[in-house]
Amino acid sequence: MENRAIFSGRLLACLLVFPQLAISLIFFYWPAAQALWQSFLVQDAFGLSTEFVWFENYVTLLKTPEYYHAIGTTFFFSLLVVFFSLAIGLLLAVMANRNIAGVQIYRTFLIIPYAVAPAVASVLFIFMFQPGLGMIARALQRNGIDWNPVLNGNHAMILIVIVAVWNQISYNFLFFLAGLQSIPKSVIEAAAIDGARPARRFWTIVFPLLSPTTFFLIVVNITYAFFNTLGIIDTATEGGPNGSTSTLVYKVFLDGKAGSDLGGSAAQSVILMIIVIGLTAIQFRYVEKKVHY
């Protein structure tokens, strides 16, 4: 109630909130509404003939076995990407948080990969992993591993997970490092005096105190794995072989772009939106309870 005394009247409050509201409306709600509307239509590529079909696009979609396959692929892929990018990011942050010579240089170098665009990262990795041409691919083949992401779905999945993780590690590293530095030294020193070894200190003190950062990063990384990996998949595998790297967002892109099926593509993006909203809600409802701020 005290706030009222500071901002007299609603007008000023509305005025101050307006820019943010306008941005949300124009860039978030309007396109989302457009997608929702488009998902009820069957239309040709040029928009010359339009038919309103209610939920037909959704029904068709839910009857396609490939769609369920894509849902499974997306969750599997996201799980791998989130786990490895967080784990490696945390490991590197813990290492770089020590007092060693040239620590600033290490930190800077660890952040650089984040500046590489996903599609470019993909191309770099293709150079290394292309069977017959890439260095790593040839090394694998020389050691008797039949590396073939063009035909082997598991290999293709490994490839895009590596690229996606590599691209995201820096981001996680940066936040974990900041989180680690905000943990009071006195707590850790007290534990050390009590005789706790480094591993125990990490799991009982550092890790719980990092939980706000970890929670934030989980949310961000899931969104990253769900949406921002589109460029990686498109350049590295194009969803193949045999749909084994075709995630939900890649299918939205492919059906809308290559298939010119805007209605079906819009229906998919609406479902995707619902999945992500649901996931985020669950995280805030249940996981956040375990977070110590």
Partner 1 sequence: MALRRFGAAAAVAAMVGSGASPAWAVTEIQWWHAMTGPNNDVVVKLANDFNASQGDYKIVPTFKGSYADTLNAGIAAFRAGNAPGIMQVFEVGTATMMAAKGAIKPVSDLMKEQGEKFDPQSYLPAITGYYSTAKGEMLSFPFNSSSMVMWANLDALKKAGIDAPPKTWPEVFADAKKLHATSPTCGFSSSWVTWGFIEQFSAWHNIPIGTKANGLDGFDTVLEFNNPLETKLLENLVELQKDKSYDYSGRTNTGEGRFTSGECALYMTSSAFYPNVKANAKFNYTAVPMPYFPDAKDAPQNSIIGGASLWVMGGKSKEEYKGIAKFFTFLSDTDRQVYLHEVSGYLPITKAAYDKTKASGFYEKNPILEVPLKELTNKPPTDNSRGLRFGGMVQMRDVWSEEIEAALAGKKSAKEALDAAVSRGNQMLRQFERTATK
CA angle centred on 270, ends 234 and 47, rounded to 5°: 80
Q: How far is the CB of 51 from partner 1 (least distance, A)?
A: 7
**Residue 138, C-beta contacts closer than 8 angstroms, at least 6 positions apart:** 132
Q: How far is the CB of 130 from partner 1 (least distance, A)?
A: 8
| Interface residues toward partner 1, by CB under 8 A | 42-49, 51, 131-133, 141, 150-153, 238-243, 254-255, 257-261
Query: Is 133 or 277 the residue whose CB approaches partner 1 more closely?
Result: 133
Give the whole-angstrom CA distance, residue 99 versus residue 175.
18
Query: Is 221 or 237 the residue whose CB approaches partner 1 more closely?
Result: 237
Q: How far is the CB of 24 from partner 1 (least distance, A)?
A: 25
Query: Is 118 or 256 the residue whose CB approaches partner 1 more closely?
Result: 256
Query: Is 90 or 236 the residue whose CB approaches partner 1 more closely?
Result: 236
Tell me, what amino acid is at 32?
A: A
Q: How far is the CB of 163 from partner 1 (least distance, A)?
A: 16
Gyration radius of the chain's alpha carbons = 24
Would you say 231 and 117 are in contact if contact means Cβ atoms under 8 Å apart? yes
Q: How far is the CB of 242 from partner 1 (least distance, A)?
A: 4
Q: How far is the CB of 210 from partner 1 (least distance, A)?
A: 42
Query: Is 95 or 136 the residue whose CB approaches partner 1 more closely?
Result: 136
The count of residues in the chain is: 293
**53-66: b or e for each residue (b if 16 or more CB lie within 10 Å)?**
beebbbebbeeeee
Give the whole-angstrom CA distance, residue 176 versus residue 86.
9
Tell me, what amino acid is at 66?
A: E
Query: How far are the Cα atoms of 33, 38, 121, 279 from residue 219, in angstroms, in the given order?
Result: 24, 28, 23, 9
Query: Is 110 or 249 the residue whose CB approaches partner 1 more closely?
Result: 249
